[in-house]
A and B are shown apart, each in its own frame.
Chain A
Amino acid sequence: MRTRRYELLAAIGFLLPNFAGFVVFTAGPVLFSLAVSFSNWNLQRTIPFQWIRLGNFIELMHDPNFWLYFVNTAYLMLGMPVAIAGSLFLAILLSQRLRGIVVYRTLFYLPTFTSGVALMILWKALYNPDFGPVNAAVNWAISTFHISDLVRALGGTGVTAPTWLLATKNVLGLDVEQVRMVRGQWGLGARDALIIMGVWIGIGGSNMLLYLAGLSNIPEELTEAAQLDGASNWNIFRHVTWPQLAPTTFFIIVMSFIGGLQGGFEQARVMTLGGPAGTTTTIAYYIYTKAFEEFQIGYASALSWILFSIIFVITIINWRIGHRELSY
């Protein structure tokens, strides 16, 4: 009995520093922000502090910017399936038994080591509409394959290279000022530029590593049995590899949703300042501007909790669907 008590004390002793840190630096601020979200707390001292119950949440539901920026956030997540598929493809390539495969793995993982800000500055230069390499390639393709003439022949008005980070256009034709689609906004613009960059960063990142680990855990006898049965490579992938990777895919999807909904801050801060015309402002960047530029800490806290709720609900849905799919 005495030994058990000593062991319990020792365990508490070991856990206490970490737990205290968690309470002070994580749980405390989180709960504090929950409380603050029911207040009008503003860093401007002329506004007296008041508890306003659900006032911030009600205002938020009527805030057109919130919905616009939520759509922006969701739009930027459109690249997620491509990034996940790319990671899987790359992981399959890098799981082959080739000489120097470690070098390849390192090279593909390099973007993850590099500072995000440095990558974004690089991509900003790549997207320069006039002298950026991206448009150099696009212009070359347009002139070499006479794409403009082709489009004109089909009744269009010709094709020019996108202006990327300067354009409000997007693949879905989302309007700038309202949540709706309009024909005039159809094209490629800043949001698509960020998606392409995100896919590039995402393909060789930690998702690839997770898939590599998942692939190495697939029992070889399953693949061998399928081969003995005469299954093609595609069928082996479809009926053996893919189901075996389901838990990894599920984890990656859940984490990508969480990351995607919280994302967009760095890109907005470094590359676009949320523009042009607010098209790259995401919920995360909006929280920052509300809290630290407009000093509405209460409102920003409410925004954060709404974002948390959305992430929570989507994770639950993912979990339900994923759990059903994983029960094989």
Chain B
Amino acid sequence: MKVFFAVTFGILVLLSVAAWKIKPKSDTGGKIPLVWVSDDNPTRREQIALFNRLHPGYQLRLDPGNTGMEKVIVQSLAGVGPDLFDCYDAYSLAAYVRSGVAWDITDQLAKAGIDVRRDVWPAVLPLITRDGRVYGYPTNAAVNAIWINQDLFDRAGMPYPTGSWTWQDFLPIAKRLTLRDERGRIKQFGLFCDWYNWPQFVMQWGGRIYTPDGTRCVLDSPQAVEGIQFLHDLMYKYHVMPSPVEEATIATQGGWGSGTISFFAGGKGAMALGGRWWLCSMRSYERLRLGVVECPYGRIRVFRGYGRATLINGNSPRRHEALEFLRYEAGKDYNALINHQADALSPAIRYCYTPEFLHDAEYPQEDFNAVWRDVMKYSEPEDISPFVNGQAAARILNKQLDLVKSDQKPVAAALRDAARQVNEEIGKTLDRDPSLRARYRKLSGKGRPE
């Protein structure tokens, strides 16, 4: 028994040593390795290749398998996080900052001569700035406009819409372009609009999700109700936009470039609310003749601005080296590439005001680029509250809006319940977080929302 135990132990030790010896080492050829957690958009590879070409001392690698705020935070806190990661909204930035993962690079960017408040589109500033400090640089900037399938307009003998217009102007056009088959089923929709665009309808009717200081959810205001009611009516009253059931027929497995985009590009809809980044996917539809017009508005000519940003992991041992990537994102080469790839708009405003942006020699048929930057001027970021966890608020809002979307609950009742529950969640957050509690009291003079 003794011999058997000793031999087994010896073999295990030898195997361990052997495994340690033959463990593959990451061969970066003396270069500084950087890992960027981002989505697997095909354009990302080219952006990385350009960085590696311009910076021979670095080896940047994409890690699309660990996207998602929860993964980034947990991995970074455990010491195995990426060097760079994407941030999609102000809520996520708040979570990254509060968990100590996002690195405050205000001073570093200032030293590099980068002034984000001067250089980038205001709509994406909430993705990188918090309490006056800067935590990243935008990867791109986006706003939605109305994509037009010109063939379907031509077939209906209708002129393409132009310029600034309201949803009331839009409705008769969308109705004429909604076609049914002999069984009465809609075979062509007037509009495709992903439900997650609901905040834009709230904004356009003069409503807000939160008060400007974020101390209270006010989604139950008459303006917000009216905006969401119109979005609901596009499906159930005017029947120009697919309901969830109709939408399910188009939905694939989600992910980048699927669903509504492929359905619109496949000729199932005459118009679609979407961003310039849709082109990354739609350019592969060779016969598709596209136009773009500003999105209609309700009472206020305002559009939801959004985008992505790159943050640096404050726990990364290579965080100083990772700054080079942000400098690259602020530079001409990267911004020109973003505009050329149509990965939305370049984050730096000035690169959208070049002749190359307006007329890309490789895509001469895309004569609508001026629309994007013009609409961007009217864009505003979505409301957020610093006093509630974004995921918790989203869980509440999505539940109520799911019921509206599936026509199971009146809009006013759903938004009233949503606002009440979010305010309760704010109260719970304040109970947990003394620093937020003090800040809340300073702003509102109260201990919690009423």
B is bound to A: yes
Are A47 and B1 in contact, with the CB atoms below 8 A?
A: no
- With a cutoff of 8 Å between Cβ atoms, the chain A residues found around residue B365 in the complex are none
**Interface assignment of A168: CB less than 8 Å from any CB of chain B:** yes
Are B2 and A6 in contact, with the CB atoms below 8 A?
A: yes
Per-residue A-contact encoding for B71-96, CB less than 8 Å = 1, 0 else = 00110010000000000000000010
Q: Which of B69, B391, B436 contacts A46 (CB 8 A)?
A: B436
- With a cutoff of 8 Å between Cβ atoms, the chain B residues found around residue A163 in the complex are 244-245, 248
Q: Which of A40, A130, A168 contacts B432 (CB 8 A)?
A: A40
A134 to B80, CA, bound (A): 44
**Interface assignment of B132: CB less than 8 Å from any CB of chain A:** no
Which residue on B lies nearest to A128, using beta carbons?
B248
A291 to B370, CA, bound (A): 45
Which residue on A lies nearest to B69, using beta carbons?
A293
**Interface assignment of A262: CB less than 8 Å from any CB of chain B:** no
Q: Which of B170-178, B278-286, B395-403 contacts A (4 or more CB under 8 A)?
A: B395-403
**Interface assignment of B98: CB less than 8 Å from any CB of chain A:** yes
Which residue on A lies nearest to B254, using beta carbons?
A273
Are A276 and B402 in contact, with the CB atoms below 8 A?
A: yes
- With a cutoff of 8 Å between Cβ atoms, the chain B residues found around residue A14 in the complex are 5
- With a cutoff of 8 Å between Cβ atoms, the chain A residues found around residue B69 in the complex are 293
Which residue of A46, A121, A163, A184 has the most chain B CB atoms within 10 A of its CB atom? Answer: A46
Q: Which of A10, A121, A292, A294 contacts B392 (CB 8 A)?
A: A294
A13 to B8, CA, bound (A): 11
- With a cutoff of 8 Å between Cβ atoms, the chain A residues found around residue B433 in the complex are 44, 46-47
Chain B interface bracket (under 10, 10 to 19, 20 to 34, 35 or more):
35 or more
**Interface assignment of A43: CB less than 8 Å from any CB of chain B:** yes
Are B406 and A130 in contact, with the CB atoms below 8 A?
A: no
Are A46 and B2 in contact, with the CB atoms below 8 A?
A: no
Which residue of A121, A276, A289 has the most chain B CB atoms within 10 A of its CB atom? Answer: A276
Are B406 and A276 in contact, with the CB atoms below 8 A?
A: yes
A45 to B73, CA, bound (A): 12
A24 to B405, CA, bound (A): 47
Binding site for A on B (CB under 8 A): 1-2, 5, 9, 69-70, 73-74, 77, 95, 98-100, 244-246, 248-249, 253, 389, 391-392, 395, 398-400, 402-403, 406, 408, 417, 432-436
Closest 5 pairs (CB-CB, A-B): A130-B249, A292-B70, A293-B391, A44-B98, A277-B402
6 A–B contacts, CB within 8 A, in A order: A43-B73, A46-B98, A46-B436, A48-B434, A166-B406, A168-B402
Binding site for B on A (CB under 8 A): 6-7, 10, 13-14, 40, 42-48, 121, 124, 128-131, 163, 165-168, 176-177, 184, 275-278, 289, 292-295
